[in-house]
Structure 1
């Protein structure tokens, strides 16, 4: 990865852990919280579509198909996060949801895009996974362990899917818009993907109880959800922009796991979650893995 891509990913990890902290605070609201957050992020993005209004006729149908499926993948990701945060702490659910894609994305990239990783990068991935396993504190909230793992896996699968789709869509857009700055393409795609996600998230409103929950969520968590959405938009833009400077999406996904120790730290500082020696050592192993991925 280039130094610029690494810088973008470092900034995105701080932002990602930040909006997930907001998400944990609104865990009781479930998907209603994320629906409000995504709508807020789209309010940030939609004006940017005006700059790319002429691109709608230029981009091929395959690009819009990718956008459609990216919206579905994002929805599964939010479903997984909402469920995981409901049943467990940020320091446990966030690392698990973030670690699994490090395994899944390289496998998917190899099978679909025929992309491979170097030996050092593969060792780094192994270190990240070992570190994440060390972070699993099943002694806390063990009654809901099965639910938490299931939802974290759902979030991980969603992450794997949208990461690979995003990368492919941005490469395709770059081919059809070679003279357009990469940042503009990233912002345009982020806006399209956010809009594509809203209808799928809004399906929860088919249930009357969820409509009532949305009203309650807006009243109780409005500011938190809106802030989460705005930080989410910044995070996603940084990640998408970085994808245009890497040759293998697996490296970017692995390096983004720097957000895991940051998320654990946020849980300790802001949510008063305990920090044990096992957690500290596991995070050091994660950092070692990230270094191996980058070098």
Structure 2
């Protein structure tokens, strides 16, 4: 059973990298965000109707998380405008555990163990290698947005950790966050793209957009299921392999260069994130 659950988590990591690849490859990434929201709205609306309301103490967290998720999505779209997928994705994903660890040290006075401290160093080295050229100049105009994306991931992760505990029912909390994030996102995209009718003109494009949303939803469901059978730290660490999948997807399907430097940097980010999680 444990081996099957591990495979499930690895599949989740691949699916997460895959929906990001859909976003990166899209000719209109803002429009794709709108289609991405449709499965989320449907599932979360049903969940919000059938599940009990979260406790009152969790609603400030729900509102904050929805705003942060919305900002994260549009920042991610901007990051993918010009950066290589195999560069931007590892920076955004790798920065969040680094920032969460730093925040725990500064604000919660949680000292890092030697293993986690080693992970912080590895992630830092990997991100610096991906993000900067010689002379500490950004390696591409999209890198600052990738770093900002990582910041949003870290902040909403902390907010969700606190909010889910205050909600009384973690699944109810997630459903309301999804609903309050994706309804505005869909409406904003409709406004930007000329109305809801214009969103559904191409059946093939709509299918691709909704597939990206379904991949994201199912990937998270796999993770939730894995938490029932494996330690949370192990599941979180396995998910970090999505950065390796992203580099391979960029090489295989986007003709991005698979340089030794990029592979080493991505390996550093992944290994460091695993050590931080553990």
Structure 2 residue 136 is the aligned partner of structure 1 residue 153: no
- Counterpart CA distance in 2 for 1:214 and 1:105 is 41
Offset at residue 108 of structure 1 (A): 2.6
Offset at residue 44 of structure 1 (A): 3.4
Offset at residue 282 of structure 1 (A): 2.1
Structure 1 vs Structure 2 CA RMSD: 3.6
Offset at residue 98 of structure 1 (A): 1.5
- Counterpart CA distance in 2 for 1:12 and 1:112 is 31
SS at match of 2:240: helix
Match of 2:98 in 1: 103
- What are the within-5 Å matches in structure 2 for residues 1-295 of structure 1? 10-26=10-26, 28-52=27-51, 55-56=52-53, 59-136=54-131, 145-146=140-141, 148-173=142-167, 176-177=168-169, 185-186=170-171, 188-202=172-186, 204-205=188-189, 207=191, 209-211=192-194, 215=198, 219=202, 221-239=205-223, 256-293=239-276
TM-score (norm 1): 0.77
8 Å contact from structure 2 (residues 98, 273) kept in 1 = no
SS at match of 2:213: helix
- Counterpart CA distance in 1 for 2:199 and 2:107 is 43
8 Å contact from structure 2 (residues 33, 189) kept in 1 = no
Please, which moves more after superposition, 30-39 or 113-122?
113-122
- Counterpart CA distance in 1 for 2:112 and 2:7 is 21
Q: How many residues align?
A: 273
Offset at residue 127 of structure 1 (A): 0.9
Please, which moves more after superposition, 189-198 or 235-244?
235-244
Offset at residue 133 of structure 1 (A): 2.8
TM-score (norm 2): 0.81
Name stretches of at least 5 consecutive residues in structure 2 with no aligned partner: none
Deviations 1:225-283 (A, max 9, x none): 101100111233345667798788xx976764321111111111122211111122223
SS at match of 2:241: helix
8 Å contact from structure 1 (residues 21, 266) kept in 2 = yes
Name stretches of at least 5 consecutive residues in structure 1 with no aligned partner: 178-184
Deviations 1:25-82 (A, max 9, x none): 21x3132211220222332343334441xx21xx322212211111101011101110
Match of 1:182 in 2: none
SS at match of 2:178: helix
- Counterpart CA distance in 2 for 1:200 and 1:240 is 25
8 Å contact from structure 1 (residues 71, 200) kept in 2 = no
- Counterpart CA distance in 2 for 1:15 and 1:237 is 11
Deviations 1:204-225 (A, max 9, x none): 3585x53269826762621211
The structure in which a higher percent of residues are helix is 1
Q: CA distance change for structure 1 residues 218 and 127 in 2, over 3 Å: closer, same or farther? A: farther
Q: CA distance change for structure 1 residues 128 and 213 in 2, over 3 Å: closer, same or farther? A: farther
